[in-house]
């Protein structure tokens, strides 16, 4: 299951999940009205999207030694630990907006496009998860953040694990959603994995609408509008960035160091996920010492 889909499913079930999410990200709340964008002059301008947005988002594209990273920050109250979001494979930061809308408006939220996705530049050479975790820490330094709570879904869940392990002082709490321990995971259905190996669904919106019930399961089997809404938010950066993300996870696993993740961890799983079988989430909750598993009934 990809990030946009899980966010939308999580939002629709916020009453049953809100108590557990409160431990790590405070409670779900009502959405606000608009967002803003940073223009090159350094001033801000309002942007109308036709739909209500949370509170103002501040978009910035930063340069880290030649690698440009597009970021979005929804400002919040300083007494709450900011929430850092790690997106799924191929997913641009706009896809998490429905999830952010459901969060406490006082909570500061940080989202970004990994290299080769959305508005971030595509590197000429592939990367691995440890390098991405280091890049994330540098991004937080640039944006003047110290400690954060982290949430990662699917591919982004693997990166969140790496970040929490490599930078424990930067990650206070952890949420892992629809993800696994990498190479030692129990794989999904072969046909689903084959479809996921291609970036086509991020390039052709009609394709994701057609295959969404098969690869995402749950509500997407019953409501075709969910896939259409998801496709409308997609911003593709091309095929190469997607392949670099696939390479980042090739042979990677966290199974041998999960027991060293000491942060309080919430593990979220859907009971109808063709891509990430539930046993993988049970494995994470078993291996991480201070983890709690919550299964969303879909």
The CATH number linked to 138 is: 3.40.50.1820
Q: Which pLDDT value is given to residue 248?
A: 97
Helices 224-232 and 205-216: crossing angle in degrees, nearest 10, is 130
Residue 107: Cβ within 10 Å count: 21
DSSP 8-class letter at 143: T
**Contact status, residue 237 vs residue 245, Cβ threshold 8 Å:** no
> What backbone phi and psi angles, to 5 degrees, belong to 212?
-55, -45
Q: Which pLDDT value is given to residue 19?
A: 38
Number of separate domains in the chain:
1
**Beta pairing partners, 74:** 109
Q: What is the pLDDT of residues 135-182, one digit of tens each?
A: 999 999 999 999 999 999 999 999 999 999 999 999 999 999 999 999
pTM exceeds 0.85 for this model: no
How many residues can be counted in the chain? 298
**Contact status, residue 128 vs residue 78, Cβ threshold 8 Å:** no
Q: What residues are annotated to the active site? A: 154
Q: What residues have CB less than 8 Å from 50, skipping those under 6 apart? A: none
- The rounded distance, in Å, linking the Cα atoms of 236 and 116 is 9
In this structure, what is the dihedral angle of CA atoms 20, 173, 293, 253, given to the nearest 10 degrees? Answer: 160
Q: What is the pLDDT of residues 5-28, one digit of tens each?
A: 544 444 444 333 333 433 333 333
H or E segment and range at residue 267: strand 265-270
Structural domain of 224: 3-296
User: What is the sign of the dihedral through the CA atoms of 153, 223, 277 and 201?
Assistant: negative
User: What is the sign of the dihedral through the CA atoms of 30, 31, 32 and 36?
Assistant: positive
H or E segment and range at residue 58: strand 58-64
DSSP 8-class letter at 219: G
H or E segment and range at residue 140: helix 129-142
What is the block-wise mean pLDDT of the chain (298 residues), using blocks of 10 residues?
49 40 36 32 36 72 97 98 96 92 96 97 97 99 99 97 99 98 89 78 71 69 71 75 95 98 97 88 98 92
Token couple for 90: 């191929």
- The rounded distance, in Å, linking the Cα atoms of 293 and 282 is 7
């Amino acid at each position: 299951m990809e990030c946009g889909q899980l966010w939308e499913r999580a939002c629709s079930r916020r009453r049953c999940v809100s108590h557990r999410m409160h431990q790590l990200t405070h409670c779900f709340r009502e959405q606000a009205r608009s967002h803003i964008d940073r223009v090159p002059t350094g001033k801000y301008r309002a942007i109308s999207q036709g739909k209500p947005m949370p509170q103002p988002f501040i978009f910035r594209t930063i340069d880290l030694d030649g690698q440009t990273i597009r970021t979005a920050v929804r400002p919040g109250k300083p007494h709450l630990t900011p929430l850092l979001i790690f997106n799924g494979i191929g997913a641009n930061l706009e896809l998490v907006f429905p999830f952010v809308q459901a969060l406490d408006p006082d909570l500061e939220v940080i989202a970004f496009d990994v290299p080769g996705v959305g508005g971030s530049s595509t590197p000429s050479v592939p990367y691995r998860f440890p390098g991405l975790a280091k890049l994330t820490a540098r991004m937080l330094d640039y944006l003047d953040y110290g400690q954060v709570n982290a949430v990662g879904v699917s591919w982004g869940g693997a990166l969140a694990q790496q970040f929490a392990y490599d930078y424990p002082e930067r990650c206070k709490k952890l949420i892992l959603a629809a993800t696994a321990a990498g190479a030692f995971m129990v794989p999904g259905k072969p046909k689903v994995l084959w479809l996921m190996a291609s970036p086509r669904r991020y390039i052709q919106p009609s394709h994701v609408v057609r295959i969404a019930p098969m690869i995402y399961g749950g509500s997407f089997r019953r409501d075709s509008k969910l896939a259409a809404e998801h496709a409308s938010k997609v911003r593709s950066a091309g095929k190469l960035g997607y392949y670099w993300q696939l390479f980042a996870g090739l042979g990677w696993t966290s199974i041998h160091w999960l027991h060293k993740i000491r942060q309080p961890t919430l593990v979220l799983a859907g009971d109808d996920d063709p891509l990430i079988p539930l046993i993988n989430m049970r494995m994470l909750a078993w291996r991480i010492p201070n983890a709690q598993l919550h299964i969303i009934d879909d």
